[in-house]
Amino acid sequence: MRLSLPVLARLFVLALLVVFLVRPDWFEPVLKPLTQNNAPAIYNQGSLLMLTLEHLRIVFIATLAATLVALALAILVTRPAGAEFLPLSRSLVNVGQTFPPVAVLALAVPAIGFGEKPTLIALFLYGLLPIFENALTGLTNLPSAVVEAARGVGMNERQRLLKVELPLALPVILAGIRLSVVISLATATIGSTVAAKTLGEVIIAGLISNNLAFVLQGGLIVGALAVLIYDGLSAVERMLARRMGQAGK
């Protein structure tokens, strides 16, 4: 099986990222010209690998929490008994978009202190909207013939939800999760302003010391992660769409 050029390019980026995180010293000659006054070219105030893993962990926890809450709200408002809560649900999930993450951090720190907790709250709120809207779209645009067939064979509402509606809506829901993850990957960098362990630590250290090498390596790691995760989730989404008999993009 021959791999296409875009796939080979992404595999190359993944391999390069792994090598850089494991052995960043190998790239020192490339980054050294970006430094001044004999400053270090490779971030030396912590492990890039550990910061990357911490960054991904925070994004994963926030996205998981946002997915559970947004999906629960979408299921609630698409049931006859919960339809009246749609305006309220939309208001709740829009909170994260109304208040920028920096403002959420500023409000959260006095209440719960510094660290990763304020960052998790900001990412959770910011990630709700795309997941909720996609889940709502997926659950309200199901093929009526399929839903009626499920009802006709005697499935109750819970069975239809778990065995028919959610599986059919899954590709659309995953698209919302994909968008939320990419947003969170970039937004999580600001968590370092409140002492959270993220790759923003590298970027901030570079800005403070006027070290372009630090800024570049922090930004490139976040960018590479965003591209790779976005493409990976897109591939899963297309696979699910094909399995559900839907047209993949």
171, part of any domain: yes
12 class by beta-carbon count within 10 Å (0-12 exposed, 13-18 middle, 19+ buried): exposed
CA distances from 188 to 99, 102, 195, 222 (A): 15, 10, 12, 10
12, part of any domain: no
Q: pLDDT > 90: what percent of the chain?
A: 40
Residue 11 has pLDDT above 90, yes or no: no
Residue 18 has pLDDT above 90, yes or no: yes
Q: What is the pTM for the complete model shown?
A: 0.89
CA distances from 128 to 4, 97, 125, 132, 195 (A): 35, 9, 6, 6, 24
Provide the pLDDT for residue 243: 77
End-to-end CA distance of the chain: 22
CA distances from 44 to 27, 41, 201, 221 (A): 13, 9, 11, 16
CATH number assigned to the domain comprising residue 159: 1.10.3720.10
* Gap between the Cα atoms of 229 and 249, Å rounded: 17
53, part of any domain: yes
Query: Are the CB atoms for 236 and 242 separated by under 8 Å?
Result: no
* Gap between the Cα atoms of 138 and 9, Å rounded: 32
Query: Are the CB atoms for 76 and 89 separated by under 8 Å?
Result: yes
Q: Which domain holds residue 181?
A: 49-243
What's the structural domain count of the chain?
A: 1
243, 233, 245: which is closest to 134 by C-alpha? 233
* Gap between the Cα atoms of 161 and 168, Å rounded: 10
Give the DSSP H/E element, type plus range, for residue 32: none
76, part of any domain: yes
225, part of any domain: yes
13, part of any domain: no
16, part of any domain: no
Residue 246 has pLDDT above 80, yes or no: no
Q: How confident is the model at residue 136 (pLDDT cuts 50, 70, 90)?
A: very high
Furthest C-alpha separation in the chain: 76
Say how many residues make up the chain.
249
77, part of any domain: yes
